[in-house]
A and B are shown apart, each in its own frame.
Chain A
């Protein structure tokens, strides 16, 4: 079967670093995506990993280990505007996205 899991909520301090983990199980895999969604808005694309390793894009980095079924999103130098839900999703063998429930990230001053 297929499943994907990420924490429901995390809290971090402005200026700090936070890592949001995502684990998944699937027989067919065509990459893992991270999206950011602010309340009341549609998701926006953050990153895509299809090979193992770390992809860095400014303050955001995403890591993938296919053998472990594991990914994380790393956010550095947190800003108040980073308060949002972060959704991980993997693309299965039919190129359909299977979504996690999202991690609500709360940034405190």
Chain B
């Protein structure tokens, strides 16, 4: 089946550091990739939608200058959390959608980000 690889799984770093998270679709071309954030015991919150070769569309309240998204190819999207602070600590999950009609989103395993 479809596989989405997300890396790294865990990040612990100091406040002020920038962190890059990669999301790859391994056996299909992902025309659209989604980035979610999930705080403990809360539901998934969509941060942004990225389409290959174009700028990402950010949800209301998500700072595009803080959460930089690059979707340079049909198999790779990256999320960079710039100058991360403790309040950015969360579980970040990417998902990718096969460009063919009526396909589900497939999720990466998520990245647990802890900012000290």
Contact = CB atoms under 8 A, between A and B. Distances in A.
Chain A interface, >50% SS class: loop
Contact of A87 (B32, B44, B97, B102): B44
Contacts, number: 41
Given A31-B102, A50-B102, A43 B44 contact: yes
Interface string A78-104: 000000000100000001110111100
A44 interface: yes
A70 interface: no
Contacts of B49: 96
A48 interface: yes
A63 interface: no
Given A41-B109, A43-B93, A45-B104, 8 more contacts: A30-B102, A31-B102, A33-B105, A35-B107, A42-B6, A45-B107, A99-B44, A102-B43
Classify chain A: how many residues form its interface, as a range.
Answer: 20 to 34
A42 B105 contact: no
B43 A100 contact: yes
B112 to A, nearest CB: 8
